[in-house]
């Protein structure tokens, strides 16, 4: 596929063509994705959303002995009673990303609705964990949400499953698996 010449872009956009192509070139390489995970995503780990409950839990894996799934649990401060629960799967093409990258979305949602959000740091394929490792982690997380609903302060009868980009694809697969297994209504 040939690239259009830089001269074909609007003059106001020409300055960004070179850097944009460089980023695309880097992102298409395995080492580039690793670099983006290390320098763009890892610094987000542990960040909190001001004014909300920010907890971190570790869920034992049912498929990989000795592996624990780090998950972030967010709730509006002062919310009472069992809250509706959302399992949120971050994006990143199954290769990169962390739950904390969606903080702006979480904050906006929790300002509008009283909802608890559980976001797992599922295993990534780039880190040597091929499918279905990430899906297994998300499935273990939703099972944990169901069995520990009282401890988490969430309803145990119905969950929302959501995600963006690659997380949206994972959400589709997870929803089928949850429904097929009869874990909970979604």
Per-residue pLDDT band for 16 (boundaries 50, 70, 90) equals low
Per-residue pLDDT band for 141 (boundaries 50, 70, 90) equals very high
- In the chain, which residues fall in CATH 3.40.50.1820? 46-181
What is 46-181's CATH number, 1.10.3720.10, 3.40.50.1820, 3.40.50.2000, 3.40.1080.10?
3.40.50.1820
Q: How far is CA 111 from CA 79, 94, 161, 171, in A?
A: 11, 29, 19, 23
Mean pLDDT of the chain: 85
18-42 tens-digit pLDDT: 665 666 666 666 666 666 656 565 6
């Amino acid at each position: 596929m040939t690239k259009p010449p830089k001269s074909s872009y609007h003059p106001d956009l020409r300055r960004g063509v070179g850097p944009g192509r460089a980023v695309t070139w880097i992102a298409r390489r395995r080492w580039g994705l690793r670099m983006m995970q290390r320098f763009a995503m890892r610094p987000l780990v542990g960040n909190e959303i001001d004014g909300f409950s920010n907890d971190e839990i570790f869920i034992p894996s049912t498929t990989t002995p000795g592996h624990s799934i780090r998950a972030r649990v967010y709730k509006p401060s002062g919310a009472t009673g069992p809250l509706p629960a959302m399992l949120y799967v971050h994006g990143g093409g199954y290769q990169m990303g962390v739950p904390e990258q969606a903080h702006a979305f979480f904050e906006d949602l929790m300002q509008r609705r009283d909802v608890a959000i559980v976001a797992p740091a599922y295993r990534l394929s780039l880190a040597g964990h091929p499918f279905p490792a990430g899906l297994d982690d998300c499935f273990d997380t939703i099972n944990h949400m169901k069995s520990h609903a009282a401890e988490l302060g969430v309803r145990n009868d119905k969950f929302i499953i959501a995600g963006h980009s690659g997380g949206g694809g994972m959400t589709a697969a997870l929803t089928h698996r949850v429904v097929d297994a009869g874990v909970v209504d979604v």
